[in-house]
Amino acid sequence: MSQQAKTTSLQSYQSILYGRALHPELFALKDRRVVRAPNFEFEAWLMNGGHLLRFEHKTMCASELVTDQDGGLPDSGVVAASLCAGERDFEHTFPRDGVTYMTTIQTETLSENLYAATLDEMLRFASEVNGLCTVWEDGTGKCLSLLDLQRYSKEMHAQSFHLQAQGGVVVRTQSIFELE
């Protein structure tokens, strides 16, 4: 794998927080899951190389989009956006409805052997946690996107892993939507 392939693929990943719902026709969905709780509704969409999380409580609706798609994304309703390269934390409060959103993003590029071992480990993990998972080929090798969801009485946790064979890229996010 060339350093150029690693840099290019990793630099294309971005995380966008919207203060609204997004429409599914914008994305090639591979899997989805809806979680309903007494005080919120949560929906997760999984795409090859990305995901969207939608959280609704009272009048508030927020969506987290992690994608390597660089065009055709909505501009309206963006609360915050950043590239995923490196490590970063972000927190935003929706004060009117008492919801706090927190996320941690970590990215790395792996050697071919370490990438293969990580892919195998993530496939086992997806099976253990009954996660949303999609596997595809990118011309270089197997790729994987995985969402692991946990519902609590006043919180929704989502952990994601996006592995791209080209460049050995791994993007991991941990996001929480929390009610006051």
Say what the pLDDT of residue 11 is.
Answer: 67
- DSSP bridge pairs for 137: 142
Query: How much is the pLDDT for 63?
Result: 98
pTM: 0.92
From first to last of its 180 residues, the chain has per-residue pLDDT tens of 444 444 446 668 999 999 999 998 889 999 999 999 999 999 999 999 999 999 999 999 999 999 998 888 999 999 999 999 889 999 999 999 999 999 999 999 999 999 999 999 999 999 999 999 999 999 999 999 999 999 999 999 999 999 999 999 999 999 999 998
C-alpha neighbours within 13 Å on the C-beta side of residue 137: 3
Structural domain boundaries enclosing 27: 3-179
Structure token pair of residue 92 = 């935003």
- Among 101, 100, 21, 92, which Cα is nearest to 61's? 21
Provide the pLDDT for residue 71.
Answer: 81
Q: What is the pLDDT of residue 9?
A: 60
Radius of gyration of the chain (CA): 16
Residue 145's Cβ-side half-sphere holds a number of Cα atoms within 13 Å equal to: 20
Q: What single letter denotes the amino acid at residue 155?
A: E
d(CA 118, CA 127): 14
Say if CB 133 and CB 144 are below 8 A apart: yes
Report the number of distinct structural domains present in the chain.
1
* Closest alpha carbon to 172 in 13, 43, 27: 13
Q: Give the C-alpha separation, 165 to 127, whole Å.
A: 20
Q: What is the 3-state secondary structure (H, E, C) of 48-110?
A: CCEEEEEEEECCEEEEEEEECCCCCCCCCCEEEEEECCCEEEEEEEEHHHCEEEEEEEEEEEC
